[in-house]
């Protein structure tokens, strides 16, 4: 069995104003991931997710589609080192 992985995503499109951040955080929590989701000043959403590879892959796939009203135009995915910090927790 493989250990946890961590990725950072930057999501572009109609993602702010349609509660993308809230829905993404809820999806990450549902998948049992740790990390964070935040709105960026330039209109993108940034997320970091850490957990089992399969759950992270499902989260990335969800981010590419987003909630019903989001029109995602691009998702950049970057692998990052796994962190073992207690404050790496996704909040709604």
User: What is the structure's pLDDT at 56?
Assistant: 96
Instruction: Sketch out the chain's domains with CATH numbers.
Output: 5-80 (3.30.70.100)
User: What is the structure's pLDDT at 17?
Assistant: 82
Per-residue tokens: 79: 């692998």
| pLDDT, block means (10 residues), the chain with 92 residues | 86 89 93 92 94 95 91 94 66 53
Query: Mind telling me the catalytic residues?
Result: 21, 39
Q: Tell me the C-alpha to C-alpha distance, in Å, between residue 67 and each of 42, 80, 85.
A: 20, 25, 29
User: What is the structure's pLDDT at 3?
Assistant: 82
- State CA 82 to chain mean position distance: 15
pTM of the model: 0.87
User: What is the structure's pLDDT at 83?
Assistant: 78
User: What is the structure's pLDDT at 90?
Assistant: 62
């Amino acid at each position: 069995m493989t250990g946890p992985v961590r990725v950072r995503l930057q999501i572009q499109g109609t993602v702010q104003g349609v509660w993308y951040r809230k829905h993404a955080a809820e999806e990450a929590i549902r998948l049992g991931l740790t990390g964070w989701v935040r709105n960026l000043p330039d209109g993108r959403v940034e997320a970091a997710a850490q957990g089992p590879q399969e759950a992270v892959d499902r989260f990335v796939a969800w981010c590419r589609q987003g909630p019903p009203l989001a029109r995602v135009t691009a998702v950049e995915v970057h692998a990052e080192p796994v962190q073992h910090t207690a404050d790496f927790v996704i909040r709604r």
